[in-house]
Amino acid sequence: MSPTRVLVLNSGSSSVKYQLLDMRGGARLAVGLVERIGEEKSRLKHTPADGGSREWSGSIPDHESALKSVAAELAKDGLGLDSEELAAIGHRVVHGGLRFTEPTVIDDAVLAEIERLIPVAPLHNPANLTGIRTAQGLRPDLPQVAVFDTAFHTTMPESAARYAIDVETADAHRIRRYGFHGTSHAYVSREAARLLGRAPEDVNVIVLHLGNGASASAVRGGRCVDTSMGLTPLEGLVMGTRSGDLDPAVIFHLMRVGGMSADEIDTLLNKRSGLIGLCGDNDMREIRRRVDAGDERARLAFDIYIHRLKKYIGAYYAVLGRVDAVVFTAGVGENAAAVREAAVAGLEGLGLAVDGELNAGRGDGARLVSPADARVAVAVVPTDEEMEIATQTYALVKESGNPG
């Protein structure tokens, strides 16, 4: 029997998230996270399928040690990396530029291209590369597959992807809108079609991925036609710590009048803006608690967040012309009923509304939260980026005939 397990790795600059999935039935055999790599008190949390989590803390100096620790934890459950059951390792890679429109088996040329894209993804691609090289070192014989966050958005027309700046300058520096969270937008838009009982080719969907990072996308017949993140994941919606859209002249102003450096402004806009910059909290649960307690700053932060969200719903409604569903996903989108309610409030003219009871209710899977007679469905679809990466990875190695 050919191997059916896929290890999914999401390597960040100081963390590695992983999941081991069995593609025969889709069982999650283990889930885990290594945090604070390179610090004195690194932490590993490993949860096997039976749910009995194991935690370990100590020094994990680099990604290689992190992956070795992960392999050791997996081995304790009889799921070691040396297992013949392992078909492939699927890596989340943040930036694939324009070249990678599909999941791709990693070879030297692919590694070189991911490296070439570092200038447009300075925080993410180096960490992703380290994860890939380390995994290759541990299992050189195994297919390693890159699944790109940008791939789903490569179908955007030039009218949506290009910024209105001098074309030669833009092309010289590869400046355009690439979009991110693509694996989630792809999965969620497809699951939304399934929830509506229709083929993805027949439905137009606005996906709102609202996590700590947040992005919206307009998906026509299964293909992305616009998305809110741009050259980097800074553009678009108000996020936990990122500003999203702003007048680019704010940056010159901060340089010339505020005396700030490019790096300082980068940190301001990526780490000290968005909800945390507006009210000191980036967790929507805490913000809602403060709003309910009458806190004015939290109220304003919430209102700014919702105002931006509404503008994107309206914009993508216009881009699509006909919308079948508006779909909420990720930590905030799946859990914060108040955000969903506020985002569509007043949009009855567009056929959008939530049913109070359905919206306030909880549920594990994909579900509708709009009234039964709604013209446009409003839905909650839990995202599952790891499952999507594993599915794409497994399909590719099976197709190319060399699993494991």
For the annotated binding site for substrate, the residues are 92
Minimal distance, residue 92 CB to ligand ADP, in Å: 11
Q: Residues annotated as binding site?
A: 10, 17, 92, 209-213, 283-285, 331-335, 385
Q: Residues annotated as binding site for ATP?
A: 17, 209-213, 283-285, 331-335
Minimal distance, residue 323 CB to ligand ADP, in Å: 23
CB atoms within 10 A of CB 401: 7
Q: Which residue has the tokens 């403060």?
A: 290
Distance CA 185, CA 362 (A): 22
If the CB atoms of residues 324 and 385 are measured against ligand ADP, the closer one turns out to be 385
Q: Which helix (H) or strand (E) holds 19?
A: strand 16-22
Catalytic one of 149, 226, 324, 384? 149
If the CB atoms of residues 15 and 101 are measured against ligand ADP, the closer one turns out to be 15
The residues of the shown chain that bind ligand ADP, judged by CB under 6 A, are 211-213, 240, 282-285, 330-332, 335-336
Whether 149 sits among the annotated catalytic residues: the reply is yes
Minimal distance, residue 210 CB to ligand ADP, in Å: 7
Long-range contacts (CB closer than 8 Å, 24 or more residues apart) made by 332-339: 332/210, 332/211, 332/214, 332/284, 333/208, 333/209, 333/210, 333/211, 333/380, 334/380, 334/382, 334/383, 335/284, 335/285, 336/210, 336/284, 336/285, 336/288, 338/288, 339/210, 339/284, 339/305, 339/306, 339/309
Minimal distance, residue 282 CB to ligand ADP, in Å: 6
If the CB atoms of residues 16 and 196 are measured against ligand ADP, the closer one turns out to be 16
At a CB cut-off of 8 Å and minimum separation 6, what does 279 contact? 287, 290, 295, 297, 298, 300, 301
What DSSP designation does 144 have?
Answer: E
Q: Residues annotated as binding site for Mg(2+)?
A: 10, 385
If the CB atoms of residues 13 and 155 are measured against ligand ADP, the closer one turns out to be 13
If the CB atoms of residues 28 and 68 are measured against ligand ADP, the closer one turns out to be 28
At a CB cut-off of 8 Å and minimum separation 6, what does 45 contact? 32, 33, 35, 53, 54, 55, 56
Bridge partners, 92 (sequence order): 147
Active-site positions read 149
